[in-house]
Structure 1
Amino acid sequence: MKALIETIVRSLVDRPECVVVREVTEGKTLTYILSVHHEDMGKVIGKNGRIIHAIRAVAQAAAKQSKRVEVRVEE
């Protein structure tokens, strides 16, 4: 899953070498914390949050049903 998120985000940004995805597990919640270059932040979030919402939907669909998946963008 981490590789899937990295691949999607790296294809969106101008500085793919700055993309870092960390995975944190807390109970039944699996959180992916996404860090990108500050100039690429808008490309990852998109207008009205459409891009990050789509990334979250893909991550949720690819996850096991017993786990809740969150994707956060870190500044």
Structure 2
Amino acid sequence: MTSSSGLISAAGKTVIGAVEGDAIPQNFIPQLVALYQAGAFPFDKLVKTYPFEQIEQAIADTGSGKAVKAVLTMP
């Protein structure tokens, strides 16, 4: 698993990122693309983007189930 911690730390919060977990990208990505093309993996409906300034809202929405995968964007 590839991860980085402590990328951003402010007000006692730490952002931790993970890339593909324990998956083997050469196998996993083509499988996901095939599922998406078959209509069996609507990832675009699972992702909700938030400007970084709305990090608290992203956390709340993920906790409540309003967002499945919150993605923070930065300028």
TM-score bin, normalised by smaller chain: under 0.3
Work out which structure has the larger RCO, using CA pairs closer than 8 Å and 6 or more positions apart in sequence.
1
Higher helix share: 1
Give the TM-score of the pair, scaled to structure 2: 0.27
TM, length-normalised to structure 1 = 0.27
